[in-house]
């Protein structure tokens, strides 16, 4: 979500940030709604679900609980009582139970000096819209939530998934340009692995930024395989590339809010075994997915490109390859890949992106770093599971390592 009335990320909000709403007399509108108290009965919870669905069906927005307003203008931080964690859980459960499909929100409790707290709920623009609440479809209109008209509902269903389709086409064009010699680097025409991440709000609104010298301080390096390099300005964005022992790799951050990483040929870069038939090593592709996204998604955020993100792992010129685990006796595909492009993709919401972007530090214990690695993988289950399923396995072992408390 590009619009933010606080001037700070949700997780960093303080009482001072919220006081600014009253000082600046910020008014309710299509993306902001004030509530004096938490919903206490079924009717109020239905109204909350309608408001949340309306935000999700439009451009997203914020609901703030514990603010007194007059004619829609914030006046006073009153706060709410009770256990903050319990209040957050109750709110989110009420929304999940009363919206269809369920709307995923993120809520934080901001403590006040008076001993109470303010709840701030962020509702992202949904990629699963339209959402229903109380048996109807709603959309934000001014300061209120209004039922959607028949043609609006039809249009919303027609647009469902449109951004994902366009981003898949965008990635295909990037790969095509690279292989035809029109990309940001001189690229080899060989089997290659690509990772792609794009800020959906930036793509959807056409938001771009002009890169300047300060951006090289915000993005000091870009992850490539196990290490990184300092990016330089290019016509396509911030770019770092290298060639080592026939393995070519690059990482690019574009002004449109995209990350593109490429490595090839697969054999030279260690992603495949040169044999008859050649085998693509799924555990290697999995590791670089976790590593590169984990290190580079925070760079997108540092440049102002926000979640949700469209994320994809693509294997180009993969026809004829079979897929294998590091232990070939555990599983391997018996059938060769028959398509020139394998694509595994998903959507990362803000909380997912935050977990994937957790830092693995040199001063942390091995156990702590392994925990972070597994948490990253768990948020990338859709991609990693489909990669392993293509190789004949049920699922990615590491993506499910936290299931059942393991």
Highest mean pLDDT, choosing among 194-198, 305-309, 332-336, 386-390: 194-198
Query: How confident is the model at residue 128, as a pLDDT?
Result: 74
Q: The tokens of 364 are what? A: 């942390």
Q: What's the CA angle centered on 278, arms 277 and 283, to 5 degrees? A: 135
- Domain-wise residue ranges, the chain: 10-157, 162-405
CB 199 within 8 A of CB 227: no
How do residues 343-369 score in pLDDT, each as one tens digit?
999 988 778 888 999 988 777 788 888
Q: How far apart are CA 234 and CA 255, in angstroms?
A: 11
pLDDT of 330 > 80? The answer is no
pLDDT band, very low/low/confident/very high, at 1 (cuts 50, 70, 90):
very low
Query: How confident is the model at residue 207, as a pLDDT?
Result: 83
How do residues 251-283 score in pLDDT, each as one tens digit?
999 999 999 999 999 999 989 888 878 888 899
Q: How far apart are CA 146 and CA 253, in angstroms?
A: 39
Range 195-224 average pLDDT: 85
371 or 205, higher pLDDT: 371
Range 86-92 average pLDDT: 94
Mean pLDDT of the chain: 88
CB 240 within 8 A of CB 251: yes
pLDDT of 40 > 70? The answer is yes
pLDDT band, very low/low/confident/very high, at 188 (cuts 50, 70, 90):
confident
In the numeric block, the tokens 């990669």 are attached to: 387
Query: How confident is the model at residue 266, as a pLDDT?
Result: 92
Range 291-312 average pLDDT: 90
3-state secondary structure of 249: strand
Please give the CATH topology (third level) of the domain spanning 10-157.
3.30.950
Least confident of 132-141, 194-203, 332-341: 332-341
């Amino acid at each position: 979500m590009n619009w933010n009335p606080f001037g700070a990320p949700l997780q960093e909000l303080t009482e001072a940030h919220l006081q600014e709403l009253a000082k600046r007399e910020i008014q309710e509108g299509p993306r902001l709604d004030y509530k004096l108290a938490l919903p206490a009965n079924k009717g109020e919870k239905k109204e909350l679900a309608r408001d949340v669905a309306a935000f999700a069906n439009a451009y997203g927005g914020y609901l703030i609980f514990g603010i007194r307003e007059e004619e829609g203008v914030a006046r006073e931080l009153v706060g709410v009582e009770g256990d903050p964690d319990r209040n957050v859980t109750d709110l989110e459960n009420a929304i999940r139970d009363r919206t269809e499909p369920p709307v995923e929100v993120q809520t934080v409790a901001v403590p006040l000096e008076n001993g109470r707290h303010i709840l701030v709920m962020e509702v992202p623009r949904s990629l699963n819209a339209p959402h229903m609440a109380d048996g109807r479809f709603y959309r934000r209109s001014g300061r209120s939530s209004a039922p959607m008209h028949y043609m609006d509902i039809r249009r919303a269903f027609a647009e469902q998934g449109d951004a994902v389709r366009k981003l898949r086409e965008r990635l295909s064009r990037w790969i095509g340009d690279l292989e035809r010699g029109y990309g940001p680097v001189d690229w080899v025409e060989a089997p290659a692995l690509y990772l792609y991440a794009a800020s959906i709000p930036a793509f959807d609104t056409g938001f771009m930024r002009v890169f300047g010298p300060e951006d090289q301080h915000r993005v000091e390096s870009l992850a490539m395989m196990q290490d990184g390099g300092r990016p330089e300005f290019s016509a396509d964005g911030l770019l770092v590339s290298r060639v080592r022992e026939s393995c070519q790799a690059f990482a690019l951050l574009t002004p449109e809010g995209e990350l593109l990483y490429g490595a090839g040929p697969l054999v030279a870069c260690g992603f495949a075994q040169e044999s008859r038939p050649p085998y693509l090593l799924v555990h290697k592709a999995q590791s670089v997915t976790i590593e590169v996204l984990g290190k580079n998604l925070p760079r997108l955020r540092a440049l102002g490109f926000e979640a949700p993100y469209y994320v994809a792992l693509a294997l180009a010129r993969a026809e004829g390859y079979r897929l294998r685990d590091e232990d070939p006796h555990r599983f391997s595909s018996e059938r060769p890949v028959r398509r020139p492009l394998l694509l595994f993709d998903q959507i990362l919401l803000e909380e997912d992106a935050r977990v994937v972007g957790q830092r693995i530090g040199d001063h942390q214990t091995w156990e702590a770093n392994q925990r972070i690695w597994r948490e990253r993988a768990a948020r990338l289950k859709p991609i990693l599971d489909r990669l392993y399923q293509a190789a004949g396995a049920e699922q990615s072992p590491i993506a499910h390592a936290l299931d059942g408390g393991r």
